Chain A
């Protein structure tokens, strides 16, 4: 089933509702049909899009589907050489007829890699998670993640099927986010963890509130417990949802519900798997299976096993109640003297210190232990914490193996533009060069 049908149904079921910007669902469908004719006239090539958020994104996404070509959003910050490299990947591969979206993953090393999301993956995700016309007429979703992020695309599909008006922020900026949420009476929004901290800073600094906001979901990276606790205290009327998913899984595969958020034991969890998705943890790695799971890459071997299971490359565990905990990328787990240490657990501990405003923990090579713990820390302005203080703080709260051997104070940590912490950069910087002979 084509994703275009999701919009056709919306136009049929509630065509007069506002879909995005000034367009109703009927008008959005008409605009997509017109654009699809342009795509056909232009030789039915994949629709490559280099743009910030605007109604052009849903128009293009559905137009590509109607024309039977994939929608390929690229990061508009890429250099011309990077764009050429991605075009080369597109040009060299056979593209399946039922590919709806080709999404280049944000991997920071190696050649560009595009995940293939087929129509059936995306429609399965929508049908299994969203009730048709489930949104009330007054609901509006603020989308501020970029269109080349899977959450930016799944937001289009799920909100269209639910009948929820989409409000776009061209690019994320915390002041603009708060202004737009207020001016557009936004009820729903999805943010990545770094966005949430910056939004809270604006709300506190400007002493503002967003009275219309009822529902805030977050994902796309690990949310520090301290940040979500702060958000819940600052926005007591808002329901929070933690969504865990990957590009290759067509967005969300597990959710921590608003009710779960009220149980402090659950805050570090990403919640329970969707009913339509199976999750197993094998040797510390999270594996998933379900109709929405792609695990397929353009012009490369796929990662999906014959029985449909996909290894996420995320380290994690399931507790006795079925809640999933994600401990970071498998490559980021620190193996110290044969013991696996989760960077996230140590980062959470560091962030409990009021003088620490950001922290990243990585493993660096160590002669004695194989790997040892290194921490890059951003202090609150004026704080006088020493490396010793930091080590004592962790040692008193976690076991001594988790105490950072290296403590590096910095002005800020490196993130990519979708809020992913660039651990590889920190790791390289904190890895001491080998001693010269």
Chain B
């Protein structure tokens, strides 16, 4: 999973871009199912897992502390982002006063 690579949810509209690559292999999931490369068709017939249906808003960043993975939601959707079955926390960003 390379920095800059883009992934889409198999079960909702969520898309992410990898801002920081993980150290080692991780399973990046959304709505309870592995995300797929942006240009791939997701497997048919999957539905959102009720345990991962909290939604992902566009523009937010999520990090996995263990692997160092950081992703940016480039499109929002109904599924929750997770790595290896654990929901990812939203990166707390304190917006700075506009400087340009």
Q: Which residues of A contact B (CB under 8 A)?
A: 1-2, 5, 8-9, 12-13, 120, 123, 127-134, 141, 151, 154-155, 158-159, 161-162, 164, 188, 190, 215, 217, 219, 239, 241, 243, 245, 251-252, 255, 257-258, 274-275
Main secondary structure of the interface of A (DSSP, over half): mixed
Among A1, A13, A128, A133, contact of B4 (Cβ-Cβ < 8 Å) = A1
Asked if residues A132 and B100 are in contact (CB atoms below 8 Å), the reply is no
**Shortest Cβ distance from A218 into B: residue:** B99
- Inter-chain contacts of B17 with A (CB < 8 A): 1, 5
Instruction: Report the bound CA distance from A215 to B58 in whole Å.
Output: 26
Among A1, A12, A215, A274, contact of B98 (Cβ-Cβ < 8 Å) = A215
Asked if residues A141 and B59 are in contact (CB atoms below 8 Å), the reply is no
B48 within 8 Å of A (CB atoms): no
Among B18, B19, B93, B97, contact of A215 (Cβ-Cβ < 8 Å) = B97
Total A-B contacts with CB atoms under 8 angstroms apart: 81
**Shortest Cβ distance from A260 into B: residue:** B97
Most buried by A among B76, B93, B95, B100: B100
From 1 to 58 in chain B, residues with beta carbon under 8 angstroms from any chain A beta carbon are 3-4, 17-19, 58
Q: Which residues of B contact A (CB under 8 A)?
A: 3-4, 17-19, 58-61, 72, 74-76, 93-100
Asked if residues A239 and B74 are in contact (CB atoms below 8 Å), the reply is no
Asked if residues B59 and A190 are in contact (CB atoms below 8 Å), the reply is no
Among B4, B61, B72, B97, contact of A255 (Cβ-Cβ < 8 Å) = B97
Instruction: Report the bound CA distance from A29 to B89 in whole Å.
Output: 31
Given A132-B59, A132-B60: A8 touches B98 (CB 8 Å cut-off) = no
Asked if residues A1 and B72 are in contact (CB atoms below 8 Å), the reply is yes
Instruction: Report the bound CA distance from A239 to B96 in whole Å.
Output: 13
Asked if residues B100 and A131 are in contact (CB atoms below 8 Å), the reply is no
Could you write out 21 A-B pairs with CB less than 8 Å apart? A1-B4, A5-B74, A8-B74, A9-B58, A9-B75, A12-B75, A13-B76, A120-B4, A123-B19, A127-B19, A127-B61, A129-B99, A130-B95, A141-B98, A154-B100, A161-B59, A217-B100, A239-B97, A241-B99, A243-B100, A252-B100
- Inter-chain contacts of B4 with A (CB < 8 A): 1-2, 120
Instruction: Report the bound CA distance from A184 to B34 in whole Å.
Output: 47
Instruction: Report the bound CA distance from A252 to B3 in whole Å.
Output: 24
Nearest 6 pairs between A and B by C-beta? A132-B59, A243-B99, A131-B95, A155-B100, A252-B99, A154-B100
- Inter-chain contacts of B19 with A (CB < 8 A): 1, 123, 127
Instruction: Report the bound CA distance from A252 to B75 in whole Å.
Output: 27
Asked if residues B58 and A241 are in contact (CB atoms below 8 Å), the reply is no
